[in-house]
Amino acid sequence: MHRSATDPNGTTGHRRVRRAAGTVASAALLLPLLGAAPASSAAEVPEAAGLQRAFVTAATEYHVPQSVLLAVSYLQSRWDTHAGAPSVSGGYGPMHLTDARTAIAGSPHHSDGTEDARGDSSRPALLPDTKVPTDAELPARLKTLTKAARLTGLPAERLRTDAAANVEGGAALLAAAQRNLGRPLSADPADWYGAVARFSGADDSSTAATYADDVYAVLRTGEARTTDSGQRVALAAQPKLSPDTAQLRAGLRTASADGTECPRTVSCEWIPAPYEEFGDGDYGNHDLGDRPASQSIKYIVIHDTEGTWDGVLNLVQDPTYVSWNYTLRSTDGHIAQHVKAKDVAWHAGNWYVNAKSIGLEHEGFLTSPDAWYTEEMYRASARLVRYLSAKYAIPLDRQHILGHDNVPGPTTSTIPGMHTDPGPYWDWQHYFMLLGHPFHRTLAKSGALVTVLPDFAKNQPVYTGCVTKDVPCATHGSSEVRLYSQPDETSPLVKDVGLYPSGAASTIDVNDLASRVSTGQRYAVAERAGDWTAIWYLGQKAWFKNPKKQPTAVTASGPVVTPKAGLTEVPVYGRAYPEAAAYPTGVPVQAVSPLPYKILAGQRYAAGDKVPGEYFFSPTFDTTGHKVVIGKDMYYEIQYGHRVEFVRAADVDLIP
């Protein structure tokens, strides 16, 4: 469970006394610093107030170039405060000072709930008991807030909740890193490359250098944005800035990228998951394959880890556990690859999706889903996904870049136990901008399709259950929009008969996906009424508020499916499996089992790829008998509810 802790050393008694003259001097220096390079220009920030002033004050106090402090903060949080909520790795505030004790999960990602990550009914579910590391086992990079409290004398609680204090803590850490390297507290940002690299918390030179390079890229291009607290913060561009990269050479281990399938623009190392037999005819923790020669790779699945980096790496190296292809570290964007793309990792809870996908686990905690993800991890993830997309011809859209929460339950009984990560606080809009494929309006007028596209920062639906059942979560921007049975926020939420077979009502619990749509998803419009739009969703009309002044969706174009003429309803499937006649001798026929969902006559759903039924047969450690079965029966992937589903092409018409 999410629990709170304050640093016992962070008391006001340790706060050093500042002379009044020093305070006056800082105030006197405030405006000149704003106008002087390399800081933000006075033209960009006419009134040095709020958070921008905090950067000026902290830079002056600790003799750190203001531009460096701003750029580091941008890479950590894009200057957002998140109302004091911790990040996925227990980081707080605009400087992402970490205290992971507040975000320790009770169970790791693939051990909670009822979902079998393998998602294959030919083998028993693999849900072993696992251990989460204790606070004493957490690395130093997850406890920087404690160090900042010692350096500044500020209480830990204030560093978590006060943005100005948090910036001061970050400045103190940068200054300490510079001194530890034996470097002067220079006014030239080019002299701080080594300290910036150490601020990342990385223990290897490649990751530290990648992080520092990203910070200096921000310094060269500049940035300006309005933060989640409504404050305008700006950093002037310094296009000719060239840092002294030689400062990095000593004191960090060398992590080899040998064996990895990663772009050169990220820091990556090979930490293999074991393909190992462990008795009783079972084995772990993935299957050997020959993708894309034997079968195409069509999806990339975005997860969060539900554990700290170090503990998760122990899990993925356990042959009795499950696997995924890559893990990404929150604090610095470092990537570990565990399973080759040619092989099939066990991560999605749906065997069809596993066999057709690559899984990316991002360091984070679902038990604290109001937490946020660092900018550096977003950027590293986007670079990796762009690389994989180009290599395996995976389109960059929400029909192919799925959250784990978009993966369908393969059978009726599995639907309630499917996972809900990365959750409503993963910023899909920002992520796709980093992918170079931003979502946007594709029709000038009202069309028959919409793309969900709320303003992440302003869109703040109330969720419960982040820490305690039925208790509201911290106010937070969200990628998701709530659905109602009528164009009225007092009407009941739409129901999901698969998630609640008893007919129970949907809830606003953060893990309840019954009545939510997510940024980038496309749906067919069923009706419009004033500021409200209805879409076809789970076999019914679902209404969401879509006012012109703050729209939550934009018009879109694309194909839709609808039942063929004469059919009153058609079944929906959680996997695209071949027809019985396609299976060769020796390969058991897999049931083509419909879900408790229907598409009724007259309803329309946004369509993705048309694909043949396909099944990867691999229930043994010996790969000799493994086979990919491909049928003649074709399916369309559709956006049916929060999750994607499949319909037989023979049952529907495709309408442009």
- Note the pLDDT tens digit of each residue in 145-189: 999 999 999 999 999 999 999 999 999 999 999 999 999 999 999
Average pLDDT over residues 501-515: 95
Give pLDDT, residue 123.
Answer: 63
**Which residues does 105 contact at the CB level (< 8 Å), separation at least 6?**
132, 306, 307, 365, 366, 367, 368
Using alpha carbons only, give the angle 120, 537, 385 rounded to the nearest 5 degrees: 55
Specify the pLDDT at position 99.
Answer: 85
Angle at alpha carbon of residue 29, lines to 24 and 33, rounded to 5°? 155
Q: What is the pLDDT of residue 83?
A: 82
Residue range 642-650: average pLDDT? 98
Per the DSSP assignment, residues forming a β-bridge with 569 are 600
- The answer to whether the CB of 472 falls within 8 A of the CB of 223 is no
Q: What mean pLDDT is predicted for residues 532-552?
A: 96
- Confidence bin at 36 (pLDDT 50/70/90): very low
Q: Is the pLDDT of residue 105 over 60?
A: no
Q: What is the mean pLDDT of residues 271-281?
A: 89
**Least confident range of 132-146, 180-194, 513-527, 628-642:** 132-146
Average pLDDT over residues 501-510: 95
pTM equals 0.86
Q: 54: closest CA among 37, 75, 73, 35? A: 73
Q: Which domains does the chain have, with CATH numbers?
A: 25-99+143-248 (1.10.530), 104-138+256-438 (3.40.80.10), 440-556 (no CATH), 562-655 (no CATH)
CB contact set of 472 (below 8 Å; sequence gap of 6+):
462, 463, 464
Band (465; pLDDT cuts 50, 70, 90): confident
Lowest mean pLDDT: which of 36-40, 73-77, 391-395? 36-40
User: SS3 for 166?
Assistant: helix
Which helix H or strand E contains 383, and what residues bound it?
helix 375-392
CB 534 within 8 A of CB 481: no
Residue 575 identity? R
What's the average model confidence in pLDDT over 137-148? 85
State which H helix or E strand residue 193 sits in: helix 193-199
Least confident of 65-74, 79-88, 580-589: 79-88
Inter-residue contact 347 to 369 (CB < 8 Å): no
How many other CB atoms sit within 10 Å of the CB of residue 600? 14
Q: For the residues 381-405, what does the mean pLDDT come to?
A: 98
Residue 643 contacts residue 513 (beta carbons within 8 Å): yes
Quickly state the pLDDT bin for 49 (edges 50, 70, 90). low
- pLDDT given at position 139: 77
Instruction: Supply 543's token pair.
Output: 């209404």
pLDDT value of position 90: 80
Q: pLDDT band for position 116 (50/70/90)?
A: low
Match 């894009």 to its residue by tokens.
Answer: 78
pLDDT given at position 2: 29
Which of the four pLDDT bands, split at 50, 70 and 90, describes residue 474? confident
Q: How confident is the model at residue 88 (pLDDT cuts 50, 70, 90)?
A: confident
pLDDT for the residue numbered 115? 60
Q: What is the mean pLDDT of residues 542-567?
A: 96
Mean predicted confidence (pLDDT) in 532-538: 98
Q: Give the number of residues written for the chain.
A: 656
CA distances from residue 495 to 211, 409, 553, 591 in whole angstroms, order as listed: 45, 17, 21, 27
Task: Determine the pLDDT at residue 352.
Answer: 98
What average pLDDT score do residues 314-326 get? 90
